[in-house]
Amino acid sequence: MATPDNPALRRKILHFLFWTKPEENTFPLQTRVSIIALYAAVLASLAALPYNLYSDYVNQAYTLMAFQLVFMALGLMGLVSFWALRSLTTIRVFFSAALIILATGLIINAGGVRGLGFFYFVVGYAILYYVLGLVGGIVLPLYIWGGTLIRISLGNFHPESYLNDPDFYTTYLVLLSVATILGIFAVLYQHFIIRHLYRLAYIDDVTGLPNRKRLELLVSQWMRSHRHGGASFSLLGIKLHNFAQVNSFQGALSADHVLETLGNRITSVCGVQDSPGRYTGTVFLVLTPKTDFLELEEMGSRFLERIQKPVDLDGHSVGVQASVSITRYPQDADRYETLMANIMAGFSRLAGQPGFVSFFDESIHQAEARRYTMLGELRHAVANQELHLVYQPKIHLASGGCHGAEVLLRWNSTLFGPVGPDVFIPLAEEGGLIQSITRWVIQTAFSQISRLGALTAPRGRHPGLVHAINLSPLDLSDPAFREFLGSLEFARDEEKPDTARGTLEFTATEQGSAPAPKTPEHPRPGEGTTPTPEADPVQGEGTEVASGSGATLEPGMESEAGVDGGSGVDPAMVEFEITEGILMDESATVQSNLEFIRSRGFRIAIDDFGTGYSSLSYLHRLRASNLKIDRSFIQPINESNPQSPIVDAVISMAKTLSLSTTAEGVETPFQRDYLLSRACDLAQGYLYARPMDFESYRSWLESRE
């Protein structure tokens, strides 16, 4: 059973006594003090009421008794209305009326039997501002002072009244005048102090709009209002995208002027019930009772239209782009932190796409939450030994012999299970993990390939195998990449051991040095999909392994061979695959890394050729040795579609440029025969072998003649 010491019960009681709906230009401290003052006035009046009524009854002051009863009734009605409506303004209206009624009664009765009744009001002048607000706090003292002056001038007081003494009422009027002046001064002083403190705490200096703290209070108040029967509401976040340029090129003062102008434009779009504010430097927030999608979209569009109009700045036209993110309470979330997370998630989705309105979508939110958790797991993937390499053989079409293999990265997460590279590679790039992953892949691949031993020796069963590891544009954009590559040890011509002569292929995505490559619309068989029962569980056939922006993984990143993972690998047989998109990158770092690759004796291949925008001049300048034809061009070839002009053109062009060609994603004998008839050099795909772990790959090599 609940007791007075029960915290939950205390919270309920305090909530019932003090909770109010949000009102403009008020803040919690002011509201609580006002409510406490009102409660104190009611309790004091109730305590004094019996004595006053008895005294007036004995002295036959029946008119004053009636005024006191009306005053008390209005005061109690004000409390009841406050409990019902939770409006500070409402209770102030009732108390203003009650005090005017009581003051009128005292004026008519010349201050009561002894004429001292006005001192009840004078004592309360100190808290008058909190009880009645600014207007009521000024009007009531003036009304009492003016009414008292008129009433005393009329005379005809009660026989026991001190006002019958001319000296007394002269002093009385002087004291009342001083009290009135001091009371009004106190009201004005308190008002300006409260306003000043309010602006310091809750108003943004630049725009004059409510700041983040005030917005948080408003949202909390609106949420409490909804929980007690109030309406639902929505939050509209407005993000300024290119405002940093205004700061950089126009200066802070000009930037403040632009912000002030944009704040005024946002306010002009808002309705009477809407509450705009500045949440952070480039984010505005608007609370609105609207929850209909069409109304919200129309409102968001009007914000964009007004904000994106040029701002005149000292004769210069400054344009700011923006996007709008919308979430609803309680449909999308029931906590303030979650609502704001929804807004920020919408901004993330609209990054680089200004001029759009985004609504919170639960399915997208869940997917992003999964990606966030997955990124956290990926940080520990190497230390937890969740990453491993697989090998997919490449075949000479003419002879049927093995040319080598493409080295692919796989992640078997403890939490998520097998994760496709089309999922975790872009995630690693976005999260700054890809650089360390790439180095681990290179070192581990060198170590494993060197263990092939006599199989790949010059007189072995498979001499000169070429092995491929993928390289991202971020590797070539990394100034430290050449230092890393140069730190690896390779077999020199005069001391090549009887170990693997392997080629490491690094595949870059087609976006140049862009940090986040797009996932292919049609992944390779098994790539990024749940494998079928007959499919290889490692998923995928050739997804890029890239390097990123320099972030590191957890300890445990070193490969099986340690830092000297490349010992014994011949650079002359190493072929770096880059997508053709990187060819268009003219940055000094990219060109320097490409030149370093060539100077060290590595080969260069172009991966997924035909899906980008490279030109023959770029191919010629790069001096590549191999073109890989993307599987999207190979897959459609079948008995009912026996021709592929694009494949024919790529092979013909490669021959003209003295380049070899590799077809990816070969799955049927018909595709093999077609490529063989066109003099394609190499092929890889499920027709020959699925990706396999290193030991299986070595056994596969040993089993072949």
Residue 49 pLDDT level (bands cut at 50, 70, 90): confident
Residue 22 pLDDT level (bands cut at 50, 70, 90): low
Residue 614 pLDDT level (bands cut at 50, 70, 90): low
Phi/psi of residue 484, nearest 5 degrees: -65, -45
Q: Taking the C-alpha atoms of 339, 343, 348 and 349 in order, what is their torsion angle to the nearest 10 degrees?
A: 100
Query: Tokens 């609502």 sit at which residue?
Result: 339
Give residue-wise pLDDT tens across range 653-674: 999 888 999 999 999 999 999 9
Q: How confident is the model at residue 512, as a pLDDT?
A: 34
- Considering only residues 616 and 209, tell me which one the structure prediction assigns the higher pLDDT: 209
550 has a pLDDT exceeding 50: no
- Residue 312 forms beta bridges with which residues? 317
What is d(CA 222, CA 232) in angstroms, rounded to the nearest whole number? 8
Q: How confident is the model at residue 513, as a pLDDT?
A: 34
Region 26-52: what's the mean pLDDT?
Answer: 84
User: Which range among 249-263, 426-440, 442-456 shows the weakest confidence by mean pLDDT?
Assistant: 442-456
Are 491 and 569 in contact, with CB atoms under 8 Å apart? Answer: yes
Which residues of the chain are in CATH 3.30.70.270 domains?
Answer: 212-360
- Considering only residues 471 and 189, tell me which one the structure prediction assigns the higher pLDDT: 189
Q: How confident is the model at residue 490, as a pLDDT?
A: 66
Of all residues in the chain, what percent carry a pLDDT higher than 90? 36
Of 100, 151, 268, 403, give the one whose Cα is nearest residue 92: 100
Phi/psi of residue 609, nearest 5 degrees: -65, 140
What is d(CA 452, CA 455) in angstroms, rounded to the nearest whole number? 6
Region 248-255: what's the mean pLDDT?
Answer: 85
502 has a pLDDT exceeding 70: no
506 has a pLDDT exceeding 50: no
Of all residues in the chain, what percent carry a pLDDT higher than 70? 85
What is d(CA 207, CA 255) in angstroms, rounded to the nearest whole number? 11
Residue 495 pLDDT level (bands cut at 50, 70, 90): very low
Cα 281 to Cα 29, 277, 284: the distances in Å are 27, 11, 8
- Residue 521 forms beta bridges with which residues? none
640 has a pLDDT exceeding 80: yes
What is d(CA 303, CA 323) in angstroms, rounded to the nearest whole number? 9
Residue 544 pLDDT level (bands cut at 50, 70, 90): very low
The domain defined by 212-360 carries CATH number 3.30.750.24: no
Q: How confident is the model at residue 536, as a pLDDT?
A: 40
Mean pLDDT over each residue of the chain, to the nearest integer: 82
- On the 0-12 / 13-18 / 19+ scale of CB atoms within 10 A, 399 is exposed
537 has a pLDDT exceeding 50: no
Q: How confident is the model at residue 608, as a pLDDT?
A: 74
Residue 652 pLDDT level (bands cut at 50, 70, 90): very high
Q: Which residues contact 493 (CB under 8 A, 6 or more apart)?
A: none
Residue 388 pLDDT level (bands cut at 50, 70, 90): very high
User: Angle at the Cα of 150 (from 144 to 151), degrees rounded to 5?
Assistant: 85
Q: How confident is the model at residue 431, as a pLDDT?
A: 86
User: Which range among 129-143, 535-549, 607-621 shows the weakest confidence by mean pLDDT?
Assistant: 535-549
- Residue 359 forms beta bridges with which residues? 326
Q: Is 259 left (phi over 0), alpha (psi -120 to 50) or beta?
A: alpha
Secondary structure element (H or E) that encloses residue 609, with its range: strand 603-609
Helices (H), 228-325: 243-250, 252-269, 293-307
Give residue-wise pLDDT tens across range 138-173: 999 999 999 888 888 888 887 878 888 888 888 888
- DSSP letters spanning 398-434: TT--EEEEEEEEEEEETTTEEE-HHHHHHHHHHTT-H
Cα 596 to Cα 336, 359, 541, 566, 601: the distances in Å are 53, 48, 28, 17, 9
Residue 228 pLDDT level (bands cut at 50, 70, 90): confident
561 has a pLDDT exceeding 70: no
75 has a pLDDT exceeding 80: yes
Q: How confident is the model at residue 518, as a pLDDT?
A: 37
What is d(CA 274, CA 279) in angstroms, rounded to the nearest whole number? 15
Q: Is 60 left (phi over 0), alpha (psi -120 to 50) or beta?
A: left
pTM over 0.85: no
Of 462, 538, 576, 476, give the one whose Cα is nearest residue 696: 538
Of 441, 546, 565, give the one whose Cα is nearest residue 500: 565
531 has a pLDDT exceeding 70: no
- Considering only residues 188 and 612, tell me which one the structure prediction assigns the higher pLDDT: 188
450 has a pLDDT exceeding 50: yes
What is d(CA 547, CA 477) in angstroms, rounded to the nearest whole number? 9
What is d(CA 477, CA 550) in angstroms, rounded to the nearest whole number? 11
Region 203-232: what's the mean pLDDT?
Answer: 89
Q: How confident is the model at residue 514, as a pLDDT?
A: 34
Query: The domain 384-517+537-624+683-703: what is its CATH number?
Result: 3.20.20.450
Q: How confident is the model at residue 691, as a pLDDT?
A: 95
Secondary structure element (H or E) that encloses residue 308, with its range: none
568 has a pLDDT exceeding 70: no
